[in-house]
Amino acid sequence: MRRLAPAVALMVAGSVLTVAGCAGPAPVPVLPSEPPGTPVVVTLGDSVPAGTACDCDPFPDRYARLVSPGAVSVNLAQSGDTSADVRTQADDAAVRADLRRATVVLIMVGANDLAAAFAGGQDDAAYEAAAGDVQANVAATVDTVMRAHGTPVTVLVLGYWNVVKDGAAGLAAYGAAGLASARSATRYCNLALRRAAAQTGARYVPTTTTFRGDHRTLDPTGMLAPDGDHPNAAGQEAIAEEVYAAVPAG
């Protein structure tokens, strides 16, 4: 679902010319557009940037407001998307049009790739293979963004604190050993995202310390929705602030 922050619509009045009793061509409608200099944040990704289970404004919208009260957030993130889904989405003509408007592009995807490997047996070899796909797909997505934009644009690739449930819900669902394996899967995912950013000129923004502290020892339950899998309002705000710290002015 798209969530657009308030934007100023520029309207041009049209006129109708009549000649010999026949109506002239209808006025060409002018689509709403941002005034020059308006920050435009375009987001691709999965259920985290989409705001699933939060019933609140997700972090892309919150980040846009931190950049400027008049900034526009074009949130194209979709729950359930994998890195391959986002790679395909970025090739869509309408999405490319949005990307050309962007002053900042946020990409957060890959958790569902690793979650599938986690569900399939919690095997490091499977994590490594899934992470390889994430790196290739995210790097290709960033390349598509750069080509669509045509001029230099800031692209941020966000990492995860966990690719599946965490906190009390994660412990209840997986046990201590399972939660440790989930964190291993997350490390594979984040390494892939970091590498994809490095090879394409994007910037990697981690979120692990945001949820679990500098020493990875904090319990993130208070920043998660009851499902343990998605951020609540406090978690979404924390991610927005992390992104803003990375690129405060867009």
Q: How far apart are CA 39 and CA 104, in angstroms?
A: 8
* Residue 17 domain flag: no
- The domain in which residue 197 lies consists of 34-246
Per-residue pLDDT of the chain (250 residues; tens, 9 = 90+): 444 444 333 333 333 333 334 444 444 333 446 777 899 999 999 999 999 999 999 999 999 999 999 999 999 999 999 999 999 999 999 999 999 999 999 999 999 999 999 999 889 999 999 999 999 999 999 999 999 998 889 999 999 999 999 999 999 999 999 999 999 999 999 999 999 999 999 999 999 999 999 999 999 999 999 999 999 999 999 999 999 999 865 4
Q: How far apart are CA 17 and CA 39, in angstroms?
A: 38
Cβ atoms within 10 A of the Cβ of 54, count?
A: 20
* Residue 2 domain flag: no
Q: Give 82-141 pLDDT, tens digit per residue.
A: 999 999 999 999 999 999 999 999 999 999 999 999 999 889 999 999 999 999 999 999
How far is residue 1 from each of residues 57, 64, 152, 169, 182, measured CA to CA in Å?
12, 16, 27, 27, 28
38 contacts 102 by C-beta, under 8 angstroms? no
- Cβ-based neighbours of 234, under 8 Å, separated by 6 or more: 222, 223
Q: Give me the amino acid identity at 163.
A: V
* Residue 49 domain flag: yes
- Is the full-model pTM beyond 0.75? yes
Residue 46's domain is classified under what CATH number?
A: 3.40.50.1110
- Closest to 136 (Cα-Cα) out of 158, 113, 152: 113
Q: How far apart are CA 210 and CA 27, in angstroms?
A: 52
> CA angle at residue 72 from 70 to 75, to 5 degrees?
150
* Residue 119 domain flag: yes
* Residue 141 domain flag: yes
- Closest to 235 (Cα-Cα) out of 57, 4, 66, 82: 57
* Residue 192 domain flag: yes
* Residue 22 domain flag: no
* Residue 102 domain flag: yes
Q: Total domain count for the chain?
A: 1
- Closest to 137 (Cα-Cα) out of 204, 200, 188, 47: 200
Count of alpha carbons within 13 angstroms of residue 173, beta-carbon side: 17
